Structures are given as C-alpha cells and as structure tokens.
Amino acid sequence: MNDYPKFAVIGGGSWATAIVKMLSENMPEIAWYMRNEAAIEEIKVNYHNPNYLSSVEFDIDKLRLTNDINEAISYADFIVFAVPSAFLSSEMEKVNVSLEGKIIISAIKGIIPETSLIVGEHFHQVYNIPYENIAVITGPCHAEEVALERLSYLTIACGDEKNAKIIGECLNSHYIKTKLTDDIVGTEYAAMLKNIYAIACGMAHGLGYGDNFQALLMSNAIREMKKFIKKVHRMKRNINNSAYLGDLLVTGYSLFSRNRMFGNMIGKGYTVKSAQMEMNMVAEGYYATKSAFELNKQYGAKTPIINAVYDILYNGKDPKKVFKKLTEKLD
C-alpha cells in the first residue's frame, strides 16, 4: 500500500500514546515525535512508553520515532498535535519546515495562553492554515480506556468532509467508533470548558458533596457551556450530543480524569502548586479556567461555575465558602 495517508503524532503523553495505538491498528507506519530521548530508546527496546499507558505494546516496525519535530512534520500529510496547550508555542518555535498543504489535527483540549485562542483558531491566525485543513479530535474518550481496548467513541470535527472521513477511517477499529461534524469551534470550546467543569466536580467531591449535588452541578454545567459557546460561535448544534454532553460527563465523573483528580485535591485542601506537583501530569482545566474567565469578559455569558473555579484557583478563595455561595446560584 503506497498511497496510504501519512500521519505524525506530536507529543509523548497519555493521549498522544493512545492516538498512536489507535492509528497503529490501521496504518503501516506512523511518525511519532516526543522530546524525551530516554522514552524513545525505551520504546525501541521494550515496545512500551515507560511514562504513559505502559501496558500498551507497540509494533516497533510501524513507528518512526524521533525527537526532531521537523522530521516528523516533513514526513506526514496529517499532523496530530497532542501536547498540553501551555507547551504548544514552545514546541512550534522549533519548527522550521513548511506547514503548507498539511492537515493540522488538534487533540489538545485547551486554549493557547500566548494568544488566548483555541488551537484551530491559533493555527489559522498565527500560521495561516486554512480552516478546511484543520481538524479536531474530541471524546468522550479517556486514553486509559483506549489502552484497555474498551469500546470508545470519538468525534472528528473538520470543515472538509473528505479529510474528516480519512481521519475517521484511520482511527476506527473494533474498539473505536468515530462520528463526523463540521462544528470545529464548538467542539474545541466544549473540550476546553469540560475540563473546568470537571475540576468543579472534583472540588465538590473533595469538599464532601455527594452524588446528588454533583449531578445538579453537571446539569448546570452543560447549560453554562451552551450559553458560553453560543456567545462565541452561534450555529445550530445539539449540546446533548456526545462531543459536548458526553465528553463533559466522562471528564466530570471518571476516575481516569486528571482534571477531576486535580479538583478533588484542591477541595481536600491542597494548594494549586502542591496538587500539580503530586499529580505529575498537566490538568488542562487549570490553564483553561483563566483563559475562559478572561475571554468571557468580552462575551458576557453567565458562568457562575467558571467564576467559582477561577476564584479558588487564581484568587486564592476558600473552596468551602465559594461552593456555599455557588450552591445558591444553581438550580
């Protein structure tokens, strides 16, 4: 097969590892860039990523492993970015090859701090990538369940239906189902916002609130998400679809959710810094909270949950007092 689409995955974390696993089910070769040279050598010798999803065994003959981002980008037609949003700009500073004609796929669930843009908008405005060459991969899907090959669903958002179908076909397998949408902006904002709400859900759990309140919190969160996204990008969308509500629920409730875990630690009394150090993973919702709060100054959506999380994380407010006030604003 000489005409298969060539994919590169940028990132060495759990979601990048899961995407490489998914692509490996269908592709004869995938370029995989990660900064960590020791991890690359470990994969070459033992066929596992030593730091993330170490239970996944790779067919090493299918991987073009490199710590040179330009080599990976030059190789590929479709480039999947799966690094934390806070680190995308520093990675892109290393790029000195052309992105012209490349299909840029965001698997990043956050806002770029330097530009306050979601990833698709960032690539369009900063790197002049046309929107038809930009796609987004969203859940509901946890990397840990991909590793276990538990049935999972992905949504592929892309303005070009042909590209969306190619991406979907390359990710599909007996345990991965994909659906397509053209709501690039809406799905990206939903993927960013659900991490904030997952932190709120974790905080509630850490503070001792039960399942009844957390259900109410998630019910209010999906309505708040709808108001926020509608202000940013008005189009016909069903907020109850899996890319919005489904992704919110799995991130808010799952024990695999690092954002829920982070919020739970804050609710139990950890400082932000101590929680981040103990997790040793990036909770995207921490950065997203500040970006969403600042962005909403422009749009003016009613966002009591985002505001509460912001007060706790960035203004140092007491979680117990903030949540007591929040309970009076929810219905």
Phi/psi at 56 (5° precision)? -80, 125
Return all residues near 89 (Cβ < 8 A) that are at least 6 apart. 112, 113, 114
For 48-71, give the secondary structure using H, E and C.
Answer: CCCCCCCCCCCCHHHEEEECCHHH
Q: What does the pLDDT average to over 314-331?
A: 96
Taking only Cα atoms into account, the Rg of the chain, rounded to an integer number of angstroms, comes to 19
pLDDT for residue 19: 97
pLDDT at 282 over 90: no
Q: What are 46-56's pLDDT values in tens digits?
A: 999 999 999 99
pLDDT at 15 over 90: yes
Catalytic residue among 21, 109, 194, 226: 194
Tell me the pLDDT band of 284, cut-offs 50, 70 and 90.
confident
How confident is the prediction for the chain on average, in pLDDT?
93
Query: 276 or 30: whose pLDDT is higher?
Result: 30
Bond from prior residue into 140 cis (ω within 30 degrees of 0): yes
pLDDT at 1 over 60: no
Tell me the pLDDT band of 22, cut-offs 50, 70 and 90.
very high
Q: What does the pLDDT average to over 97-104?
A: 96
Query: 226 or 256: whose pLDDT is higher?
Result: 226
Q: What does the pLDDT average to over 242-259?
A: 90
Phi/psi at 285 (5° precision)? -65, -25
Tell me the pLDDT band of 283, cut-offs 50, 70 and 90.
confident
For the whole model, what pTM was predicted? 0.89
pLDDT at 2 over 60: no
Return all residues near 317 (Cβ < 8 A) that are at least 6 apart. 311
pLDDT for residue 28: 95
The Cα-based distances of 211 to 190, 202, 217, 252 in angstroms read: 23, 11, 10, 12
Q: Give the CA angle between residues 16, 309, 136 to the nearest 5°.
A: 30
Is residue 226 part of the annotated active site? The answer reads no
Q: Are 81 and 10 in contact (CB under 8 A)?
A: yes
Tell me the pLDDT band of 239, cut-offs 50, 70 and 90.
confident
pLDDT at 217 over 90: yes
Q: What are 106-157's pLDDT values in tens digits?
A: 999 888 988 888 899 999 999 999 999 999 999 899 899 999 999 999 999 9
**Residue 153 class from Cβ within 10 Å (0-12 exposed, 13-18 middle, 19+ buried)?**
middle
